[in-house]
């Protein structure tokens, strides 16, 4: 099976712009989660989608949003970019049943730099 893929891998934007990142989960996985990783804050949970519905949300401002399509692919969007949004954005997929035993499989991440 192919792993989780994320596009683009690297991105440079300027303050005030918006950005859309894409994640394709492992085939058959229905749950997609997004994380932000920065040197200062570590790995922080953004949100999780399951069957096109947001299931959980972390403590991030409304500038961060996401969605999931019927094929389980997911996008996250950050509007009005700030310098502090520079980070590695990671996507993870899991089979997405209600079982809490399901591990998450991470993609390689998108490195976003805001200038």
Partner 1 sequence: DAKTTQPTSMDCAEGRAANLPCNHSTISGNEYVYWYRQIHSQGPQYIIHGLKNNETNEMASLIITEDRKSSTLILPHATLRDTAVYYCIVRALGQFYFGTGTSLTVIP
Please return the burial class of 71, using the count of CB atoms within 10 Å of its CB with bins 0-12, 13-18 and 19+.
Answer: exposed
Q: Which of 11, 30, 45, 67 binds partner 1 (CB under 8 A)?
A: 45
- Residue 81 · residue 18 · CB < 8 Å: yes
Is 106 an interacting residue with respect to partner 1 (CB under 8 A)?
Answer: yes
- Residue 104 · residue 33 · CB < 8 Å: yes
Which residue, 14 or 38, has its beta carbon nearer to partner 1?
38
Place of tokens 């996985």: 29
Q: How far is the CB of 20 from partner 1 (least distance, A)?
A: 19
What are the tokens at 85? 């949004």
Q: How many residues in the shown chain lie near partner 1 by CB under 8 A? A: 25
Is 62 an interacting residue with respect to partner 1 (CB under 8 A)?
Answer: no
Residues that bind partner 1 (CB under 8 A): 4, 33, 35, 42-45, 48, 55-56, 58, 88, 90, 92, 98, 100-101, 103-109, 111
């Amino acid at each position: 099976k192919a792993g989780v893929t994320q596009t683009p891998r690297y991105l440079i934007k300027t303050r005030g712009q918006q950005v859309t990142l894409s994640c394709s989960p492992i085939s058959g996985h229905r749950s997609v989660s997004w994380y932000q990783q920065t040197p200062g804050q570590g790995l922080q949970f953004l949100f999780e989608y399951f069957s096109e519905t947001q299931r959980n949300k972390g403590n991030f401002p409304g500038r961060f949003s996401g969605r999931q399509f019927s094929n389980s692919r997911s996008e996250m969007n950050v509007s009005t970019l700030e310098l502090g949004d520079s980070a590695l954005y990671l996507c993870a997929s899991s089979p997405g049943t209600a079982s809490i035993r399901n591990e998450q499989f991470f993609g390689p991440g998108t490195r976003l730099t805001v200038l």
